[in-house]
Amino acid sequence: MASWEYRNASRSRWVIGTAVAFALLCLAVSLLGLRSLRELGLSGVGPASAALINLGILLPALMGLLLGGNALVAAREQGVLPMIAVQPVSRSSLVLGPFLGVSAALAASVLLGFGAAAVVLSGVARRSDVLPLTALVGSTLAVAVTCVAVGLGVSAVSRSRLQATSTAITLWFLLALGMDLVLAAAAPALRMGPTGLLVAVVCNPLEAGRVLALLGSTPDGTALGPFGAYLVESFGSDGAAAILVCSLLLWTVAPLLLARRVLSRGDL
């Protein structure tokens, strides 16, 4: 089932188009960063990697939510899901198959984009840039896979593809922009402090992935300001990374369990 879902996703014009668009955007960001480095007479990939973090977190997350959000509900509308369900296939396979297949297709798109960026940046990269770039790619893949799982949870409870798509887009806006705006407005008034900010980051998989990528680029947490200093001082760089990884794992497992529960009890 995972192989079948992967083939369907990889042949989709929408997936191919977004993969090419992501690769072109990564290429453009890398070229702009490379130009800035040359004008300033610097080496390394700092300016380019900083821009790639935001691009790598936001666009693959949207792709994951949309792909996952349409996986189950589209199969239900086309009559494929009921046909598979009458076969000797467990409900867990009905969820894990699309999850693995869509995640693999999305991972290929992400690696294509970062591969194009790596070719451009290879001329100015230093040995010390390997870890930050690896953390960037790993964090992006983790967020993308997490969003696929969240999308599958949305797909399981949606009645139509239109409902699933609108819910996925709304979730993306909420996680990418809405929570940051609310946090920026409410944090000073509520006096949340570093602990409250940590809880807010853990509750947002996109923000957790971004912070994880930044921790990989600067293990001392200086890129995150006072919050990063508090995070590293309280838990250490490894402990902070472990907290963020566990947050992403929880965001991945919980929607998959929800989807399995819905498929086990609902009418396919």
In tens digits, what is the pLDDT along the chain, a chain of 268 residues? Answer: 888 888 888 888 878 888 888 888 877 777 776 665 555 444 445 555 667 787 888 888 999 999 999 888 888 888 888 788 777 878 888 889 999 999 999 999 888 888 877 777 766 666 766 777 788 888 899 999 999 999 999 999 988 889 999 999 999 998 888 766 666 556 555 565 666 667 777 788 888 888 888 887 766 555 666 566 667 777 777 888 888 899 999 999 999 999 999 888 766 6
Residue 38's identity, in one-letter code, is: R
Evaluate the CA torsion angle 136, 217, 173, 230 in order and state its sign.
positive
Pick from 6, 144, 151: which is nearest to 69 by CA? 151
Tokens of 125: 């990269």
The structure tokens listed for 203 are: 């509750």
Cα(95)–Cα(12) distance, integer angstroms: 20
Distance (Å, whole) CA 190 – CA 48: 35
Q: What residues have CB less than 8 Å from 9, skipping those under 6 apart?
A: 15, 67, 101, 102, 105, 106
Give the chain's length: 268
Return the number of other C-beta atoms located less than 10 Å from residue 181's C-beta: 10
> Helices (DSSP H) in the chain: which residue ranges?
2-11, 13-40, 46-77, 80-85, 91-121, 130-157, 161-173, 179-190, 193-202, 205-217, 225-265
Q: Which of 112, 119, 167, 168 is nearest to 140 (CA)?
A: 112
Instruction: Output the six-digit token pair for 256.
Output: 């998959």
pLDDT digits (tens, 9 = 90+) for 124-168: 666 766 777 788 888 899 999 999 999 999 999 988 889 999 999
pTM of the model: 0.86
Residue 220 DSSP label: T
- Tally: H helices and E strands in the chain: 11, 0
State which amino acid sits at residue 263. L
